[in-house]
């Protein structure tokens, strides 16, 4: 699993598409594991401490990588990663090569 996480960290900053919407990978979390995406041109209303609407902020989505009891890739993760499949595969191969050398 650590190889997958290290390969995904190379995708931070890359733009991809999820459910037809452009987004950017902003973080990879070990917990879950999950990827955190900043959705472009999608905003939500942020409230203040009193629950009143305060301002519009970009939508952030956290997508789990695994589903079905951590046995298979989550469908949304597959959709997001297919767009960057070539980059993901090359990052994953590079991390495997460096792990073998190290």
Name the E strands within 1-102: 15-18, 21-29, 34-47, 53-64, 66-67, 72-73
Q: CA-CA distance, 67 to 81, in Å (whole number)?
A: 15
Helix, strand, or coil (residue 55): strand
**First vs last Cα of the chain: how many Å apart?**
17
pLDDT in tens, 2-56: 777 777 787 888 888 888 888 898 998 888 788 899 998 888 999 999 999 999 9
Give tens-digit pLDDT for 58-99: 899 888 887 767 667 777 777 766 655 555 555 555 544 444
Place of tokens 């890739």: 73
């Amino acid at each position: 699993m650590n190889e997958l996480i290290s390969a995904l960290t190379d995708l931070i900053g890359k733009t991809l598409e999820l459910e037809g919407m452009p987004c950017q990978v902003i973080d990879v979390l070990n917990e879950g594991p999950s990827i955190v995406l900043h959705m472009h041109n999608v905003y939500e209303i942020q409230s203040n401490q009193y629950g009143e609407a305060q301002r519009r902020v970009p939508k952030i989505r956290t997508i789990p990588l695994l589903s079905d009891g951590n046995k298979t890739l989550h469908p949304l993760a597959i959709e997001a990663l297919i767009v960057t499949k070539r980059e993901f595969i090359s990052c994953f191969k590079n991390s495997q090569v460096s792990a073998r050398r190290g």
